Structure 1
Amino acid sequence: MVETTNSSAPHIYEATTFSDLVDWGSQPDSLEGQSNSSGRLVFKGPNNQPESGIWVCTPGRWRLSIPRDEFCHFVAGRAVYRSDDGEVIEVEAGTVVLFRAGWTGECTVIETMRNIYMLA
């Protein structure tokens, strides 16, 4: 069950297994493989701030640049983020990361990951 418009607190039940996802297409700036993204938006405020939802991504590697602060709670899968400064962040179920606006690097998804996120 999804409730995003008629609730004072938009929500998704069973977010870790929720399967009514929308195909968001291929991951841009691909370096290796063909990662595909899908997800479900929970809420998007004025000027798209804040934005929160579920993001699922299949294996592959791509470049990325984070435009706004992004809080991520990874609930499934495995991935490695490498910043342009050389920092390595390995994520798996249970990992929480706050990517600050301007973070650049690349992501390698090893095992399909599921991320509950909020862009601020």
Structure 2
Amino acid sequence: MKSSAPHIHNATTFAGLVDWGDQPDCLEGQSHSSGRLLHKGPDNRPETGIWVCTPGRWRLSIPRDEFCHFVAGRAVYRSDTGEVIEVEAGTAVMFPAGWTGECTVIETMRNIYMLA
């Protein structure tokens, strides 16, 4: 991945993932994360990579703007204000910094993400 333009071929099926451990703040189930970092810039901005997470439900708080392109699985995000965002393969979401709520992964999801 060392390149003038870091890249991962076949990101939707890439198997060389790293174990990132159990999802913190679990409310239900035992969600487990794995992924692959593609690039981190100065001060970790931007950060981009692949994130895979198994079923479960947990609290989350988005620390900075995060763009997510979901390429597999199904999940439901519920904001603390009551908004519901259902995601599946092909869904793209721009979570603004400070977005808080819960995530329920129904079917193991794969997300190509960028934190700004």
- TM-score band by shorter chain is over 0.9
* Aligned with 2:68 (options 62, 68, 72): 72
Per the alignment, residue 31 of structure 2 pairs with 35
Alpha-carbon offset, residue 35 of structure 1: 0.1
Structure 2 unaligned spans of 5+: none
| Count of residue pairs the alignment pairs up | 116
Matches within 5 A, 1:6-85: 7-85=3-81
What do the CA deviations read for 1:36-92 (whole angstroms, capped 9, x no partner)?
Answer: 000000000011000000000000000000000000000000000000000000000
> Which runs of 4 or more aligned residues in structure 1 lie more than 2 Å from their structure 2 counterparts after TM superposition?
none
Q: Aligned to 1:55, what secondary structure does the other structure show? A: strand
Per the alignment, residue 105 of structure 1 pairs with 101
Structure 2 Cα separation of the partners of residues 25 and 45 of structure 1: 23
Equivalent AA in structure 1 for residue 67 of structure 2: F
Structure 2 Cα separation of the partners of residues 28 and 43 of structure 1: 23
Structure 1 unaligned spans of 5+: none
Q: Aligned to 2:4, what secondary structure does the other structure show? A: coil
TM-score if structure 1 supplies the norm length?
Answer: 0.96
Work out the percentage of aligned pairs sharing the same amino acid: 84
Structure 1 Cα separation of the partners of residues 28 and 68 of structure 2: 23
| Cα root mean square deviation, aligned | 0.3
What do the CA deviations read for 1:10-32 (whole angstroms, capped 9, x no partner)?
Answer: 00000000001000000000000
TM-score if structure 2 supplies the norm length?
Answer: 0.99
